[in-house]
Amino acid sequence: MRSTDHLATSRYARMRWNTPLSEEHAALLLRRLDVRPGARVLDLGCGWGELLLRAVAAGGVAGPVATRGVGVDTDEAALARGRALAAGRSLNRHVAFVMGEAAAWHEPADRVLCIGSAHAFGGTGAALDALAKVVRPGGRLLFGTAYWQRDPTAAAEQIFGADITDLAGLVETTRERGWRMLHVSTADQREWDDFESTWLAGRQEWLLTYPQDPRAAQVRAELDDRLRQYVGDYRGVVGLAYLVLGH
């Protein structure tokens, strides 16, 4: 395999999922999502779908009515990783990974996940409105989205945009749009540090292995910028809220 391929595969290699989330926190969210046997589960902006696969497994695929899942994303490499994960857990007949725009998906489901992907709908409010149309009545949405933990610096606002509110504002936005809150929790500092560290680690390891690669200087500069921004501009400023919502 050429070093080009190594760079592509190393980017997210150290991440379990592409969001600040511990194993314990993920298990709690899946319990609150309460996937029932035979449910249809949809993940919009699924990445490689680790949570989707766990949600489908939680619903169960062995009984008379198997739980089924669909993950939608625009990143073909992430989707390929999801398909390989599904095959490794014998879930490939139960979970489909589809290349496409999250906002263009209209087939409803009983349980919908949308984590770190609100921007694909044009922001948090627009995402909550669009997702109300794909969550079946009586269904549940696991929504993961950014909020300000502290007043943002100008630099943080430039990175994350002006659409974000504080947690109280986010909760109010869900209420105004007709959702009922079944669960709220936020990523803690260690989850964020682990997220940023694992995001960096795959690429740092590539850099340390292939320092002579023609792209090494550019990758080094990107990683240095990201780490500088994290510790200087948004660590402890931007948070990630996980909401389980019903309607």
Ligand X SMILES: C[S@@+](CC[C@H](N)C(=O)[O-])C[C@H]1O[C@@H](n2cnc3c(N)ncnc32)[C@H](O)[C@@H]1O
Stretch that binds ligand X, among 23-31, 74-82, 87-95, 206-214 (CB under 6 A): 74-82
Q: Does 115 bind ligand X (CB under 6 A)?
A: yes
Buried b (16+ CB within 10 A) or exposed e, 187-210: beeebbebbbebbbbbbbebbeeb
Instruction: Kindly tell me which of 46 and 85 has the beta carbon lying closer to ligand X.
Output: 46
Stretch that binds ligand X, among 72-80, 84-92, 192-200, 209-217 (CB under 6 A): 72-80
DSSP secondary structure string, 160-219? H-S---BHHHHHHHHHHTT-EEEEEEE--HHHHHHHHHHHHHHHHHHHHH-TTSTTHHHH
In the complex, what is the shortest distance from the CB of residue 238 to ligand X, in angstroms, rounded to a whole number? 13
Instruction: Kindly tell me which of 45 and 239 has the beta carbon lying closer to ligand X.
Output: 45
DSSP secondary structure string, 118-157? GGGGTSHHHHHHHHHHHEEEEEEEEEEEEEESSPPPHHHH
Q: Does 110 bind ligand X (CB under 6 A)?
A: no
Q: What is the helix (H) or strand (E) element at residue 109, kind and residue range? A: strand 109-115
In the complex, what is the shortest distance from the CB of residue 106 to ligand X, in angstroms, rounded to a whole number? 13
Q: For residues 16-35, which are near ligand X according to CB under 6 A?
A: 17-19
In the complex, what is the shortest distance from the CB of residue 64 to ligand X, in angstroms, rounded to a whole number? 30
Instruction: Kindly tell me which of 144 and 152 has the beta carbon lying closer to ligand X.
Output: 144
Which residues bind to ligand X, rule: CB under 6 A?
Answer: 17-19, 45-47, 51, 72-75, 78, 101-102, 115-117, 120
